């Protein structure tokens, strides 16, 4: 996990790239369709420059504050090393915070101001014993990190004497016999790199930064009885100031000593790059270079609370502390009335029991992971052409909007995958110009098409008006059809009623015919009997002679009547048969007609329903048609 990292506030503005001295430490990436700048932890030196320039709060850092308090809560024995800048940053809260740490379980509190005095002693003695001239001071881990990663040829010129933090840890372990884990209360993000460096043998376990510590103490409302740190100390307290090491050397070696003071994030690394050959070949006139990453020293370090940087209150407090250390009445190495030679003698006597070798260290060349490929001329041409930079003028615009000093640096970053051409504002500008021209041409074509569309819309409008009229006519006629269908359906129902009544009447006629048939049968029977009686009467009249003649006439008439009745009955039966046949035919036809009427009635009902649906659909069609007509009216009016 990278010590410095990008949070979700990043907008990809490139300011971090422009502030960074390490090519490749900030890498342009695309996340969720948006550009952002991520941190490559192998290349980042935690100089904090990106924090200074970022207006979006997009950068954060990791330290060991949470782990420190968690281990205290578990009962781990931990002592702390306190950076001298802490008292200057929190003069009113200093003792209360230390008391809260004690209450939380901290064992001992040792000020690194004392250890800074050891560092000064170590520098002077190492220079004297090894004639080490023109070296680079190393209390700043960001400076060490830059040289290890980007200018490894200067590693031999880095002072091998440990920083005040490490001198304090070594002194606590080897000379005070402290076996506790050690935590450094630190103003610096980069101290985590120094703590974790294998060359420092795990003397310190925690980098607890001012910023994260104070947030934790306040949010958890930690309290305790006020207390202070251990061990009286001298001028080491002014180490956090710009040129603090230089001032200490002047105190012991005189102000005629030539020490080059250099600080400031990008300025510092530019100085080292510009002068690396002179420094490496010992061609500088300096006793050493007092190098700090932060322009205002560790007082306003990368892990101090940002609001502290807005005033000079911290600096004023540090000046007060320094003067208290230099006031008359101080003895030994810190006495103002002594000469530098006398002070140095007193310093050496104070630390005579120390072994300088205990406070020396080694460095590691880490440049293998940080080197970037330099594109040759052919590759540069390819990249520039891809960026639409075809002329020398276009290739040397050097506007720095991409975050790099020159177009060639940007091309180099693209070559190494650190950035993309889309981050070049002039590339985007050229694309915009081309798109503007294309848009202009498209607008002309669109205007031509608009005229054509207007003509077509007008034509459609005219045609649609006819369609609209036809739909309205269809709606009117369909309404008439609906009324007629309803009338037909009513008449069909009347026919159905008639057929049903006809069927009922035919049934009654059949019943009458049956009765007539029975009556005819009875007439025939009577006629037969009458005929037989007439025959008997004629026989009897014949027997009676003259006396029965009149009766014979009557008998004859009765016989004639019987024959007539029989014939009439026979004729009636023949007529009945014909009537029955006719009625059967009528009944069959009536049934057939009824079936047809039923079908007609069913279909007419369907037709009525369909006509009703058509009527409803016609209304919908009319409404939609009217809407389209209105829209076409607007189009026609709008295109005129």
Distance CA 203, CA 585 (A): 128
- CA-to-CA separations, 455 to 101, 450, 479, in angstroms, rounded: 85, 9, 36
How much is the pLDDT for 329?
45
How much is the pLDDT for 328?
44
Q: Does domain 427-639 have CATH number 1.10.287.950?
A: yes
Mean predicted confidence (pLDDT) in 518-522? 63
Does residue 584 have a pLDDT over 90?
Answer: no
| DSSP SS3 for 184 | strand
Q: Could you tell me the pTM of the whole model?
A: 0.70
Pair of tokens at residue 622: 């009319």
pLDDT tens-digit series, residues 49-79: 999 999 999 999 999 999 999 999 999 999 9
Structure-token match 């003071």, residue found: 261
Pair of tokens at residue 156: 């031999």
pLDDT tens-digit series, residues 221-277: 999 999 988 876 666 777 888 888 998 899 999 989 999 999 998 899 999 999 999
Domain ranges in the chain are 1-62, 63-362, 377-423, 427-639
Long-range contacts, stretch 622-626, CB < 8 angstroms, 24+ apart: 622/471, 622/472, 622/475, 625/464, 625/467, 625/468, 625/471, 626/468
Residues 6+ apart with CB under 8 A from 343: 251, 252, 333, 334, 335
Does residue 492 have a pLDDT over 90?
Answer: no
CATH number of 1-62: 3.30.70.3270
Beta bridge mates, 259 = 288
Burial class (CB within 10 angstroms; exposed 0-12, middle 13-18, buried 19+) of 370: buried
């Amino acid at each position: 996990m990278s010590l410095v990292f990008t949070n979700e506030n990043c907008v990809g503005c490139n300011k971090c790239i422009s502030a960074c001295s390490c090519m490749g430490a900030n890498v342009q990436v695309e996340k969720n369709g948006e550009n952002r700048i991520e941190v490559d932890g192998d290349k980042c030196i935690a100089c904090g420059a990106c924090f200074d320039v970022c207006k979006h709060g997009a950068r954060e850092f990791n330290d060991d504050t949470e782990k420190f308090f968690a281990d205290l809560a578990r009962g781990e024995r931990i002592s702390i090393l306190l950076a001298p800048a802490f008292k200057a940053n929190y003069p009113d809260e200093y003792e209360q915070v230390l008391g809260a740490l004690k209450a939380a379980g901290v064992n001992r509190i040792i000020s690194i101001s004392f250890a800074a005095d050891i560092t000064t002693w170590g520098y002077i003695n190492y220079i004297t014993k090894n004639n080490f001239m023109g070296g680079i001071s190393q209390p700043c881990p960001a400076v060490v990190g830059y040289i290890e990663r980007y200018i490894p040829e200067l590693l031999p010129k880095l002072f091998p004497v440990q920083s005040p933090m490490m001198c304090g840890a070594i002194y606590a372990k080897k000379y005070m016999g402290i076996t506790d884990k050690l935590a450094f209360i630190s103003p610096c993000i980069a101290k985590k790199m120094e703590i974790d460096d294998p060359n420092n043998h795990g003397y310190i376990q925690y980098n607890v930064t001012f910023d994260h510590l104070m947030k934790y103490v306040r949010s958890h409302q930690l309290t305790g009885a006020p207390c202070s740190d251990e061990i009286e100390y001298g001028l080491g307290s002014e180490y956090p100031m710009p040129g603090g090491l230089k001032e200490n050397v002047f105190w012991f070696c005189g102000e005629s000593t030539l020490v080059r003071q250099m600080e400031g994030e990008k300025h510092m690394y530019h100085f080292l790059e510009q002068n690396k050959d002179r420094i490496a070949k010992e061609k500088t006139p300096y006793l050493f270079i007092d190098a700090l990453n932060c322009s205002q020293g560790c007082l306003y370090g990368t892990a101090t609370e940002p609001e502290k940087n807005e005033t000079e209150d911290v600096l004023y407090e540090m000046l007060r502390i320094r003067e208290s250390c230099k006031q008359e009445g101080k003895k030994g190495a810190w006495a103002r009335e002594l000469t530098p030679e006398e002070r140095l003698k007193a310093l050496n006597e104070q630390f005579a029991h120390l072994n300088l070798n205990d406070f020396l260290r080694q460095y590691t060349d880490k440049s293998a992971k940080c080197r970037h490929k330099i594109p040759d001329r052919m590759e540069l041409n390819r990249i520039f052409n891809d960026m639409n930079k075809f002329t020398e003028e276009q290739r040397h615009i050097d506007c720095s909007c991409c975050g790099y000093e020159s177009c060639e640096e940007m091309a180099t970053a693209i070559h190494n995958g650190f950035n993309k051409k889309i981050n070049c504002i002039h590339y985007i500008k050229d694309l915009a110009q081309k798109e503007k021209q294309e848009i202009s041409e498209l607008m002309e074509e669109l205007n031509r098409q608009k005229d054509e569309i207007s003509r077509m819309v007008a034509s459609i409008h005219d045609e649609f008006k006819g369609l609209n009229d036809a739909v309205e006519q269809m709606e009117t006629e369909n309404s008439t059809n609906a009324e007629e269908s309803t009338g037909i359906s009513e008449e069909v129902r009347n026919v159905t009623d008639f057929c049903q009544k006809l069927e009922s009447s035919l049934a009654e006629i059949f019943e009458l015919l049956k009765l007539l048939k029975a009556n005819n049968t009875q007439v025939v029977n009577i006629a037969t009997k009458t005929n037989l009686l007439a025959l008997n009467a004629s026989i009897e009249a014949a027997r009676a002679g003259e006396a029965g003649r009149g009766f014979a006439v009557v008998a004859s008439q009765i016989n004639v009547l019987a024959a007539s009745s029989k014939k009439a009955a026979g004729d009636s039966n023949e007529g009945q048969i014909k009537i029955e046949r006719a009625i059967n035919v009528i009944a069959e036809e009536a049934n057939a007609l009824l079936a047809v009427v039923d079908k007609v009635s069913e279909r007419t009902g369907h037709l009525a329903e369909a006509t009703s649906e058509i009527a409803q659909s016609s209304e919908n069609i009319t409404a939609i048609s009217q809407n389209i007509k209105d829209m076409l009216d607007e189009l026609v009016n709008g295109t005129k």
